[in-house]
Amino acid sequence: AADYLVESMVAIIALHNGEIVSVEIPASVELTVANTEPGVQGDRVSGARKPAELETGKTIQVPLFINVGDRVKVDTRSGDYITRV
Arithmetic mean of pLDDT, 62-67: 92
pTM comes to 0.83
Arithmetic mean of pLDDT, 53-74: 95
Which phi and psi (to 5°) does residue 2 adopt? Answer: -65, -25
Residue 74 in 3-state DSSP? strand
Rounded Cα distance between 8 and 64, Å, is: 30
Arithmetic mean of pLDDT, 66-84: 95
**Percent of the chain's residues with pLDDT above 70:** 92
